Structure 1
Amino acid sequence: MTTSSVRPASVDDAPTIARLQLAVWRQSFATVLPAAAVNTDPTSHSASWANRIEWGGPVLLALEGTEPVGFAAATSEPDRRNLLDTLGEIEVLHVVPRWGRRGHGGRLLVATAAELRRRGARTGRWWVPQVDSATARFLTAAGWAEDGVRRELDTGAAPIIELRWSGTLDLVAI
């Protein structure tokens, strides 16, 4: 039986993360993202991820055996509504579709939440494209909920409408 795991990403993982992200974009978001994003040069995209990881992440990599299958990146900042609290934000969490429904997304969410808690956050948020019903179902199952805030991203083509989801970072398992 293959072991599944999540580990912190290193700068050496940047090309892998870029490849994973572009694979997810092409398979799941090609109708939402502009063609320029879907066709991003993997080398420059890899450099961006290397900078992100070097900056201090956290960036996590999901593995099935030794095969990278997904990743997550998060950040934290003081909560503007209560400066004594820290707010965690999941910037991205992707699992390549062919590796879906094997628990990788749940493991990534739990590991990301643990890292954000380590940084002082108790609650989190995540902007999700309105058309991404799979992630909406996943977050609902994890106990998160839309909080009524939406934003429109100008892509130079059709805008992307994102809904903000909020939830606790006290996740044990999904």
Structure 2
Amino acid sequence: MKISYGNYVAFFFLMSFFALETAAASARTEAEALVKWKNTLFISSSSSSSSSSLSSWSLPGLKNLCKWSGIVCNNRTTVSQINLANGGLSGTLDHLNFTSFASLAHFNISGNNFTGSVPPTIGDARSLVSVDLSSNMFGGTIPPQIGNLTELQHLTLFNNNIAGAVPYQIGNLQKV
């Protein structure tokens, strides 16, 4: 079967269109997850940190997702970093849908007032290379699902209220 040049061009155009649609859908999914999480957070009015201003996190600002405060995107315009360190933020990670971030490599919320447990769903963000949850008020235990983060190189949990045994699954983190 011979494919004509015109069919090849049409096929390439169609595949490019689907790739753009997928990137747009991914950006929207990420934006929705961030806005949903933001709506559960308390932002201290006394914080002088620029990352404490999450007013840029809004669905009408979807086209500027990569310019949102504390957000860095990769060349495919998907979120690769969330850096909200020392942002005067309080809340939990319970409402952050980690599965929405297929390209998330760096997650830093150190120096805030996050409480609750580190959720098992953090293990769904399998592209994570660096996680810094230090200097918060997390309690409970380290979830065994942290062992799913096989790309992880840096894990910082100090200065929290985490207790209990370290899960054996942490042995899966060969790059830490």
TM normalised by structure 2 equals 0.36
Q: Which has the larger radius of gyration?
A: 2
TM normalised by structure 1 equals 0.37
